[in-house]
Amino acid sequence: MINQNIYGYEMSRISEVYLSTLSSIMKPFGIERYFAPLLYLCENSGKITQKDLAEALKRDKVSTMRMVDYLSEKGLLVRTPDCNDRRCQILKVTDKALELLPKIKEGVQQTNDLLLRDFTEEEKVSFKKSMDKLFTTIGNLPEPDFIVQAYKRNNK
């Protein structure tokens, strides 16, 4: 292929294989996506709104709404009115979600074991540190709109 490191392409492919593997493992349990958001919701059940979830996951309102709708349709999440702000709804996981939690964690572990099977323990630790460092760097970047605006030409 191309003799250049296009890390985004490589990471995208890794993510695609990782998530499709996890999805296959979880399909018999009735859920095929949004594992990380569900884990986050289980940790913060009854304490956050859809807006809070979008901010925590660094996602836009539309994709967050799709996540919440999917998890609600699967019977894993309920929206309850916020007594302090009628425009907001509190997100709370169901008992079904809590029962599924160990299976998701097991599915993640199976996926990790499968895809990292040729890594030594030292390489796994190094990989995790590198991923954490990259994630921190990304978290400290300005929002994409600001990056785009910084490179727009002045058409005067």
Predicted pLDDT of residue 133: 94
Strands of the chain, DSSP E: 48-49, 77-82, 85-93
pLDDT number for residue 16: 94
Alpha carbons 22 and 38: distance in angstroms, whole number:
14
What are the residues whose beta carbons fall under 8 Å from the beta carbon of 127, sequence distance 6 or more?
Answer: 116, 119
CA distance 92 to 41: 7
The structural architecture, per CATH, of the domain 7-118 is Orthogonal Bundle (1.10)
**Exposure b/e, 123-134, CB count within 10 A at least 16 = b:** eeeeeeeeeeee
pTM of the model: 0.77
Q: What is the pLDDT of residue 4?
A: 67
Q: Along the chain (156 residues), what's the average pLDDT of each consecutive run of 10 residues?
A: 73 92 93 92 92 87 92 94 76 95 95 96 96 86 56 42
The DSSP letter of residue 20 is: H
Tell which residue, 40, 39, 36, has the closest CA to residue 15: 36
Domain ranges of the chain: 7-118
Answer yes or no: are the C-beta atoms of 91 and 45 closer than 8 Å. Answer: yes
Q: What is the pLDDT of residue 149?
A: 45
Neighbours of 20 (CB within 10 A): 13
